[in-house]
Structure 1
């Protein structure tokens, strides 16, 4: 019995061992170039269990990096080989193989080539004398280069060096490296400097010029010749490109003036979305060429000397390197199963398929496992393995190839036989709240995939609220109190059965009994929300209330927001408008939670209007506009605006202009003549008024006009016999409407034939005396109308009196006078004269 148990345990361990054939997941591209003497590497990294070992072949022959001294090394734990000082003899076709006990993974074949750039062929210098306005071609045969070089044209400088030829609608290059000048200009002579063709190899970081192929220009014609459009060069009429590559076609036409070139499809369809017109219209470039881009394209050109278009057509064919329609995939399968590998590719021309087992062509495989009755190829792109055994682990390669290239698939067949193992058993005890959902874990491994069965209190679980997930977990929705119990997960396959159990405890759900209510408050006052909740008796000590504002938790040290631990209320002190929002009470015990929300609306004075502008300034009115500020949650029916103005007469005083309903943000304001007006706007709501807006930047200036009203409160006072004492309310400057303002008193003596008499009120008398000595020291100055007007500033009149005693307390008063009358004097003013007067 002891021997049988030991043998069974050994079998289970053997069955449970994890093995994976190798698989290369990092490899070099098809072509790798190097510069002699500079380090280059060919990458190869694979995974697999056990870890694979690496071997290489060069030109089909085993290649051992250790046989090259220290010049070639293989990096540790990977297959990557590094050529530290590569030489020309290192060139070749390299392939990497990663091997373990369960197969051989093979990389693509990598062509390692030394980069080279030879010199141009020797030739004699050429001097050309083209006619102005005629076309010209400069030939270039680039030197041999690996990889192909970039070719361009340069102008040689007199003292050495060069500068690139500027390509434009008149000067361009064809796809065979010739420089094409569609019409020669005198400036093309470049002051006798030479044109040269240059080739540059990016890997070599080296360029070479055609030193013997230099062209000098001397022009003898005095004027340019005008010529019609003529064909000069174009891409082949039958031209193909490879799918996914960038495709270029070009048409060059000569003529003077320089022709304009256009492209179109001959079937009337639009150009592809991926097509770009470059080289000043002469070249069409299609990025990511696709089969639907095939067809006939036409280029045509014209100039002012050509009556009809000159046209060329190019038939575009699209071919392709093979690409995957159904890429082969790794297959893991149980003993006795059937494994199918597909390698379906598309290409133009159609691809041929080649299959390999562990890197060996299928037709050359000498392996007892590969027999016609078990390994079948029902069609070129498919291979099938039937009735597989554990010994059938291997790596399969597929090659789909045509004349343009190939694609390579490297996948493995892994035959597994693994007893079930519970990797993540159910928790010994899991606590949940009713009404929530719960996952009981049971992640398993095994091949064939184990069948998972769940039991509750030894009774198999059916469907309904219970769902066994693909991962093996048991998902229970809307848990109820009766779901509490002992749950058992059982995993079973043909090799064994295993199980694991855990308890589920269910608590009563948390409930909010008193929910917060919506609040509306005025700014500056406090707002308080209340909330209370209950939970399962076993979880009461864990119950807590949290508050959120707009779904973000309110921290304990939040400004002006405090919570009362006794009743779980939230108070916002000194509310402001930005405190408005949604406040949520969250009651939780750590198992579940319930939420209830309420809205806080804080009403405040409106924000100031902005961007106040004078839209129009006229003689009698101005049009003012503004951008409204925020209403700040106050009822809109109480909202309105007031436009205020000030003038240059009293810039510190703002006057009411007009009230405007909230539906409008533009209004007219009545103005008076001969004043400079500035405007601002104030908004009002039920709470109060906003701060004033910034004043308008533009001042509205009105023209002078006659006064629109006469002085008010005209009265006569009989306080002196033989005199008529008349007084009135002076008119402020804003009502004077122009310069040279004065009062004219009109009177008529009853019973006298002289009719209406006029008295202008336009001169002044100043009286000054030393305080306490009025009778002895009084002096008088009469101010003429001309002097008064000359010293006037707005409604203020100024004058200067002389010959006052220094260091003396002086009193003064002013009267208005004319030829008939001197008014009552003003109130007496007192001042102290200074020393030195």
Structure 2
């Protein structure tokens, strides 16, 4: 098994101090156990007696690090039985930062005002990246960089382009190690102004500039520094000498003193120029960025297995700048190899050439490794992985191919036998160089056992299979092209005749996709036996139309037959319904057709919807019938100034399809109203009023904005109309008031409509009477009578002829003469002089008066009179009800009801009798506590008893349920005097047939009376 390193050690490691432990990860993959060893600076590390170093899972762990002993280049070698490979190299370095050697105050720097100055930092010995800052006078006041002051992160020095008086003070350099995060401070450097004058202006002098050549790695961040001293303070600018502008990724920092190029690429290489300029002159510095890249693989090799004496050729290719050189390793060392332009070749492989090989690509910026295993094979032939099938089948007349593919190194020489005889080439028999046997146009004579024999210098092997020849398979019933309607079901036949020695399977494809009968079981099912693969399609949908292919697979051949199924359905929805032109009553529509779904579209139906309709309604069109070839039509009969939506429904011989999406809402143009108000009438009101009413015109018939009504009226027999205008569309009543209007005089009335476009038609003329005056006389001889606890009868004399109309009378009643808000009213139309007031309280005094009324209202009331309602009836129902049946006569008896002091006395009893299937209830009134009833033998009855009093009917008894009785029961009925209540209940509930009744009655000699007390629900009979 090949070796593969999956974790390489990091190329460079900076450690903080020697107090830490370090682990160099190096893990390899192999089925066979792997052993790893490490070397330092090319020398194998002996871990036997080294207490500081040990291995863990291929990683080297070093404790108690020692700067002198552990610094260097590490490399891991992984071994297994197949060979060895090297990891990439890792350099271990120690980061540190020493203190400044002298902590005494540095010598003062004396400068004139306006002169430039450089304060040197001189960082101490260190390893690892440093950053610099300067403290001004005391912490935490740091020097802030600007166009006049700059701190170089290369040298650490502080540059002041032009000294000012405010710069005088002590300056301390702060050095920080970014790896160890240690920080050290230099001793202060005093900056002092000289007293011998101010420095005059001078041209820039570049003090900070990048080298002439700046090597930079691919994808690294390059920072170029440039700063100049001068008076005035110079301005810094950058350019490429090639004239190529900077890409957007380039950044200028610290007042242009730093040019930063992130993610460096080949195109960023070239000469860069820094320009420092003031009004006294300018100076420039140039340097070239040279691009370099460590090697990167373009092509590597893969694990290879070759037979002994074969030739090996491996090639690897890498890119890098400068161009990498190549070397090859076998198991970590130089081997028996030939190298040319990075390619490895070995001629006439032997077993000793097996092992792990590495291609090494290297330039001065890095080294990379690519590994692969070479296996040199030497083995006798074997058919363990590719034997002939024990039984081979072929169709008569077909071509048979028998493969001979032994595993052998070197490759084996093969021959074929038919039975025990070596097979020779003929016109039909071909032996291919790779050992394959081909027999064309096979017949039954070719049926036999065939053996392939393979041989090389290490041994011989063979494999045998028996060939049988079968008759061709025939399709006896094929599916045919069909047309079918959506929702129907069909069976597509697929039946064959075949050789019994063959195994047969059927499958179906629909439009090139194999049908999954489990997933699509709602519609598809394969039916039939071993020689039938019929396909049943249930509840066919439009998407089931297409090509169906039945595929028959046997051991020796594959056949297929197909049919086209055309599914017809209602048309699909039309699309893009648009209103091309619209008037006040018509709309011209256009649309695009939908799918015809197998049946040509024969016509279209246009539907419309407005905010005033319930759903979609079919509309009239021109032409009246829109045939299937038309894609435009004009809708007629629309209402003006109404917002319409339209949709189109297509039809074909199958039926109506789905409607199209609705068109954009479109409003018809406005027009003069063409609908007059209806149901014009009126009348009533108060004195000197003419009340006119009408049914408002619906909004959808108002035909435009600014809709209102024109009311015209005149006294009957006159010519001139009086007109009034109402601008509110929803108003349905108009009152004309004039003191000269005679009461109850007839008027001709008509109502019209108008809108912003003009006036529409008027309604037909109706006769409306003006308001009349109320009756002027009150009824006389008003009398009352208390009828029951809840009812009073009121009687009066009819009024004689008076000038005013009398339409009827109104009786007014109240309980308390001091509380008029308790007034109740009962009206009776016509010339009646009696009314019953019901729903009153029992035993209560009521005051009453009567007035005549007409449309103007009630006239004066009669003088009030009072009366008292009766006491309430007893609230107890008759109890202990017993009944006796003799023949068709039922005799009922009950206990009397005694009224309380606050109740009306009992004056008699009311017996209610209801027959099954009849709505009428018969009543019998008696002043006794017994009654006889004659019943029909073929009906069920329900009986209830109530006490009667002056106050009305009392509470009803529990209903008595009498089942119908047969003739035999009537003839054999006799009295029963001592049957328990439970037994009697059982009898009535169970004995529904005459035979059962007779059997029980005849089994009890003492039956001479049938007495029954029942307490059953009143509704249980029905």
TM-score by length of 2: 0.49
Q: Whole-Å Cα distance in 1 between the matches of residues 72 and 552 of structure 2?
A: 73
Q: Whole-Å Cα distance in 2 between the matches of residues 681 and 154 of structure 1?
A: 82
C-alpha distance 332-576 of structure 1, shift in aligned 2 (>3 A): closer
Q: Could you list the per-position Cα deviations for residues 722-765 of structure 1 after superposition, in whole angstroms to 9, with x for gaps in the alignment?
A: xxxxxxxx9987555352356999xxxxxxxx9x9989899999
Alpha carbons 2:552, 2:558 under 8 Å: kept? yes
Alpha carbons 2:747, 2:769 under 8 Å: kept? no
Q: Whole-Å Cα distance in 2 between the matches of residues 624 and 612 of structure 1?
A: 7
**2:487 pairs with 1:524:** yes
Alpha carbons 2:394, 2:467 under 8 Å: kept? no
Q: Whole-Å Cα distance in 2 between the matches of residues 417 and 629 of structure 1?
A: 75
**2:77 pairs with 1:97:** yes
Alpha carbons 1:672, 1:735 under 8 Å: kept? no
Residues 209-220 of structure 1 aligned to structure 2 (within 5 Å): none
Q: Whole-Å Cα distance in 2 between the matches of residues 310 and 654 of structure 1?
A: 90
C-alpha distance 81-544 of structure 1, shift in aligned 2 (>3 A): same
Partner SS for 1:525 = coil
Residues 696-715 of structure 1 aligned to structure 2 (within 5 Å): 700=667, 702-703=669-670, 705-707=671-673
Of residues 552-561 and 802-811 in structure 1, the stretch that sits farther from structure 2 once superposed is 802-811
Which residue pairs with 1:816 in the alignment? none
The one of 698, 708, 716 equivalent to 1:740 is 708
Q: Whole-Å Cα distance in 1 between the matches of residues 368 and 406 of structure 2?
A: 37
**2:549 pairs with 1:584:** yes
Which residue pairs with 2:242 in the alignment? 266
Which residue pairs with 2:514 in the alignment? 552
Alpha carbons 2:250, 2:262 under 8 Å: kept? no
Q: Whole-Å Cα distance in 1 between the matches of residues 4 and 571 of structure 2?
A: 71
**2:655 pairs with 1:688:** yes
Which residue pairs with 2:42 in the alignment? 60
The one of 9, 18, 29 equivalent to 1:28 is 9
- Distance apart, 1:516 and its partner CA: 1.9
Which residue pairs with 2:364 in the alignment? 403
- Distance apart, 1:684 and its partner CA: 0.8
Kindly indicate whether structure 1 or structure 2 has the higher relative contact order, using CA contacts under 8 Å at least 6 residues apart: 1
Which residue pairs with 2:28 in the alignment? 45
- Distance apart, 1:681 and its partner CA: 0.6
C-alpha distance 602-40 of structure 1, shift in aligned 2 (>3 A): same
C-alpha distance 91-598 of structure 1, shift in aligned 2 (>3 A): farther
Alpha carbons 1:514, 1:531 under 8 Å: kept? yes
Q: Whole-Å Cα distance in 2 between the matches of residues 672 and 335 of structure 1?
A: 97
Which residue pairs with 2:642 in the alignment? 676
Q: Whole-Å Cα distance in 1 between the matches of residues 453 and 668 of structure 2?
A: 94
Alpha carbons 1:354, 1:398 under 8 Å: kept? yes
C-alpha distance 294-277 of structure 1, shift in aligned 2 (>3 A): closer
Q: Could you list the per-position Cα deviations for residues 693-743 of structure 1 after superposition, in whole angstroms to 9, with x for gaps in the alignment?
A: 66668573754x3247999xxxxxxxxxxxxxxxxxx99875553523569
Alpha carbons 1:263, 1:284 under 8 Å: kept? no
Q: Whole-Å Cα distance in 2 between the matches of residues 525 and 451 of structure 1?
A: 64
C-alpha distance 587-355 of structure 1, shift in aligned 2 (>3 A): closer
**2:71 pairs with 1:74:** no
Alpha carbons 2:383, 2:462 under 8 Å: kept? yes
- Tell me how large the CA RMSD over aligned residues is: 7.1
Which residue pairs with 2:392 in the alignment? 431
Partner SS for 1:578 = helix
Alpha carbons 1:199, 1:208 under 8 Å: kept? yes
Q: Could you list the per-position Cα deviations for residues 114-149 of structure 1 after superposition, in whole angstroms to 9, with x for gaps in the alignment?
A: 566889999999xxxxxxxxx999999999987758
Which residue pairs with 2:381 in the alignment? 420
C-alpha distance 613-407 of structure 1, shift in aligned 2 (>3 A): same
Partner SS for 1:538 = coil
C-alpha distance 209-565 of structure 1, shift in aligned 2 (>3 A): farther
Q: Could you list the per-position Cα deviations for residues 43-74 of structure 1 after superposition, in whole angstroms to 9, with x for gaps in the alignment?
A: 1537598x6644332233332334344x6443
Residues 365-384 of structure 1 aligned to structure 2 (within 5 Å): none
C-alpha distance 385-137 of structure 1, shift in aligned 2 (>3 A): same
Q: Whole-Å Cα distance in 1 between the matches of residues 155 and 260 of structure 2?
A: 17
Which residue pairs with 2:904 in the alignment? none
Residues 565-576 of structure 1 aligned to structure 2 (within 5 Å): 565=528, 568-576=533-541
Alpha carbons 1:33, 1:113 under 8 Å: kept? yes
Partner SS for 1:537 = coil
C-alpha distance 288-552 of structure 1, shift in aligned 2 (>3 A): farther
- Distance apart, 1:679 and its partner CA: 0.8
Alpha carbons 1:678, 1:700 under 8 Å: kept? yes
Q: Whole-Å Cα distance in 2 between the matches of residues 629 and 195 of structure 1?
A: 86
* Structure 1 unaligned blocks of 5 or more: 1-19, 126-134, 184-193, 215-228, 363-369, 712-729, 746-753, 767-778, 812-837
Q: Whole-Å Cα distance in 1 between the matches of residues 648 and 542 of structure 2?
A: 19
Q: Whole-Å Cα distance in 2 between the matches of residues 607 and 401 of structure 1?
A: 71
The one of 436, 444, 464 equivalent to 1:501 is 464
* Structure 2 unaligned blocks of 5 or more: 107-115, 162-171, 189-203, 229-234, 678-695, 727-731, 735-743, 755-760, 775-807, 811-824, 831-1022
- Distance apart, 1:582 and its partner CA: 3.6
Q: Whole-Å Cα distance in 1 between the matches of residues 53 and 364 of structure 2?
A: 33
Q: Whole-Å Cα distance in 2 between the matches of residues 152 and 72 of structure 1?
A: 37
Alpha carbons 2:3, 2:28 under 8 Å: kept? no
Of residues 617-626 and 116-125 in structure 1, the stretch that sits farther from structure 2 once superposed is 116-125
C-alpha distance 333-403 of structure 1, shift in aligned 2 (>3 A): same
- Distance apart, 1:656 and its partner CA: 1.6
Q: Could you list the per-position Cα deviations for residues 238-288 of structure 1 after superposition, in whole angstroms to 9, with x for gaps in the alignment?
A: 54444x54575779999xxxx9999889387x99xxx76354899786868
Alpha carbons 1:529, 1:569 under 8 Å: kept? yes
- Distance apart, 1:424 and its partner CA: 1.8
Alpha carbons 2:710, 2:752 under 8 Å: kept? no
Q: Whole-Å Cα distance in 2 between the matches of residues 200 and 651 of structure 1?
A: 81
**2:423 pairs with 1:459:** yes
- Distance apart, 1:109 and its partner CA: 3.2
Alpha carbons 1:742, 1:762 under 8 Å: kept? yes
Which residue pairs with 1:631 in the alignment? 595
Q: Whole-Å Cα distance in 2 between the matches of residues 330 and 382 of structure 1?
A: 15
C-alpha distance 799-28 of structure 1, shift in aligned 2 (>3 A): farther
* Alignment coverage as a number of residue pairs: 678
Which residue pairs with 1:538 in the alignment? 501
Alpha carbons 1:433, 1:479 under 8 Å: kept? no
- Distance apart, 1:459 and its partner CA: 1.5
Q: Whole-Å Cα distance in 2 between the matches of residues 118 and 800 of structure 1?
A: 122
Alpha carbons 1:323, 1:407 under 8 Å: kept? yes
Partner SS for 1:266 = coil
Give the number of the structure whose alpha-carbon radius of gyration is greater. Answer: 2
Residues 723-738 of structure 1 aligned to structure 2 (within 5 Å): 737-738=703-704
Alpha carbons 1:641, 1:662 under 8 Å: kept? no
Alpha carbons 2:428, 2:440 under 8 Å: kept? no
Alpha carbons 1:680, 1:692 under 8 Å: kept? no
Q: Whole-Å Cα distance in 1 between the matches of residues 158 and 441 of structure 2?
A: 82
Q: Whole-Å Cα distance in 2 between the matches of residues 262 and 664 of structure 1?
A: 74
- Distance apart, 1:610 and its partner CA: 7.3
Alpha carbons 2:573, 2:650 under 8 Å: kept? no
Q: Whole-Å Cα distance in 2 between the matches of residues 80 and 494 of structure 1?
A: 46
